[in-house]
Amino acid sequence: MNIGDILFQLFGILVLVFFIAIIVFVARSSKKRKDQLDRIEEKLDRVLRQIPKE
């Protein structure tokens, strides 16, 4: 193998790793956002329950 083949293989592997990392990052970010929205919704529900109804 010459240096060009090695670099090409390395580049291909790095691209694959990059796409996997992006997918993991988006999935984790989405989950964190959903958890945060759930916490906000629960706090809002608690506040609304404390307000006396007329």
| DSSP string of 1-54, one letter each residue | --HHHHHHHHHHHHHHHHHHHHHHHHHHHHHHHHHHHHHHHHHHHHHHHHSPP-
46 within domain boundaries: yes
pLDDT at residue 47, as a whole number: 93
41 within domain boundaries: yes
pLDDT at residue 26, as a whole number: 98
pLDDT at residue 11, as a whole number: 97
8 within domain boundaries: no
Task: Provide the domain limits for residue 44.
Answer: 18-54
2 within domain boundaries: no
pTM of the model: 0.67
Q: How many domains does the chain have?
A: 1
7 within domain boundaries: no
43 within domain boundaries: yes
pLDDT at residue 41, as a whole number: 97
Rounded Cα distance, 14 and 35, in Å: 31
pLDDT at residue 28, as a whole number: 97
Of the candidates 16, 1, 39, 51, the one whose C-alpha atom is nearest the C-alpha of residue 31 is 39
Chunked in runs of 10, what are the mean pLDDT values of the chain (54 residues)? 92 98 98 97 94 77
